[in-house]
Amino acid sequence: MLKNKNVLLGVSGGIAAYKACALTSKLVQQGAEVKVVMTEGATQFVNPLTFQALSRNPVYTNAFDEKNPEKIAHIDLADWADIVILAPATAHLLGRVANGLADDMLTTILLATTAPVYVAPAMNVHMYDHPAVKENLKTLETYDYRFIEPGNGYLACGYVGKGRLEEPENIIDVIATRESKQQTLRGKKVLVTAGPTVEVIDAVRFFTNHSSGKMGYAIATEARDLGADVTLVSGPVQLDPIPGVEMVPVQSAKEMFEAVVSRFEQQDMIIKAAAVADYRPKQQFSNKMKKKDGDLSIELERTEDILKTIGEKKQTQYLVGFAAETDHLLDYGQEKLTRKNLDAVVINDISEENSGFKSDTNAVHVLTKSGKSKAIPLQTKQEIASQLWSVFIEDQKGDPS
């Protein structure tokens, strides 16, 4: 998918710069036209002549070296690029870019380009975990920069941990996969809910469930890759925020209800994958309840029914619900589809091994209001998300399949 693409490779000054040589070669082998821009630090690790030989193009190192008087080099390169890759992206480069600095050839190009930017960080494990680096990464996420996570392993500094530049083959695979997706949801606003809710009992205790949020996050990621403007309303999970997706963190069912309903009218599609509590303690205590002799009874009350509420309100929106079941999957799924006025329902058997909560894999069955029924066998949740979006998109077209 990178054939005939103009790829601008930005190389910064870290020992992992040697891997950028292999990345350049493999991009050329893929049929891409590659031009390399190096920071001053990068030239201390790899001679620019190496990249010139591998890319068969001049290498740019100096913002003031204007090779063609008819063009401003950094603007010309920024306009030329279809894709920009920063590999390796050091902590120093991330800090400069996150703060809008333009003090060399590479950073001036990054401010001027409108091409998608893929960032492959590489640094010491403690540097990668430093609060300043984390903050810079979050800032770049708001700019819709796309990240290729560093790997775990032995680092040049002698440490073992996260910070090693991802292998060139994997960098190319990630970019090719993302770029190959048709932007079938471009211009659409999509809201996804994910994760569990937490219902407080007292200062230290709460009710929750086993949802990890992985399925909802995979659905939101896929929607982003298909070009949608995505909002993710998420309960508390141990997952990283998704670059390019508006994140709305919530705790309780009431907070999730308010977050969804307040945004509902602006959405084209709502995918409600969160596992929302059906009940909460009727009375909540600000202090810790002390242990007493005998049993304890906690009176529960119903939480707000998010799906039912927006199902009654929806006009042109496409509404999808999830049903986690242990038996009679299709019967319960069809009943939920009808009762809550959904356009589609995704049912998964949480009693099956490697399927449902906390697992990285899932197997689901999709029913639609228009009569479609599709079983999706066990696979990764990201693969499930891709197939689900195919069903939702085709269902809205009225496709007979």
- Active site (catalytic) residues: 157
C-alpha triplet 313, 232, 85: angle, nearest 5°:
140
Contact between residue 373 and residue 366 where contact means Cβ atoms under 8 Å apart: yes
Residue 372, judged by CB atoms within 10 A of its CB (0-12, 13-18, 19+), counts as middle
The rounded distance, in Å, linking the Cα atoms of 254 and 380 is 31
Among 218, 213, 216, 246, residue whose Cα is nearest residue 231: 246
3-state secondary structure of 169: helix
The rounded distance, in Å, linking the Cα atoms of 201 and 204 is 8
Tokens encoding 227: 């070009």
Beta-bridged to residue 320, according to DSSP, are: 271, 344
Among 372, 264, 364, residue whose Cα is nearest residue 319: 264
Count of C-beta atoms within a 10 Å radius of residue 88: 28
Written as one letter, the residue type at 387 is Q
Question: Peptide bond preceding 88: is omega within 30 degrees of 0, i.e. cis?
Answer: yes
Tokens encoding 218: 């995979």
Contact between residue 91 and residue 130 where contact means Cβ atoms under 8 Å apart: yes
3-state secondary structure of 346: strand
Among 28, 34, 35, 37, residue whose Cα is nearest residue 10: 37
Tokens encoding 205: 């205790």
CA dist 201 to 115, 204, 206, 279, Å? 49, 8, 5, 12
C-alpha triplet 270, 271, 274: angle, nearest 5°:
125
Beta-bridged to residue 193, according to DSSP, are: 233, 272
User: What residues contact residue 92 under an 8 Å CB cut-off, 6+ apart?
Assistant: 12, 13, 41
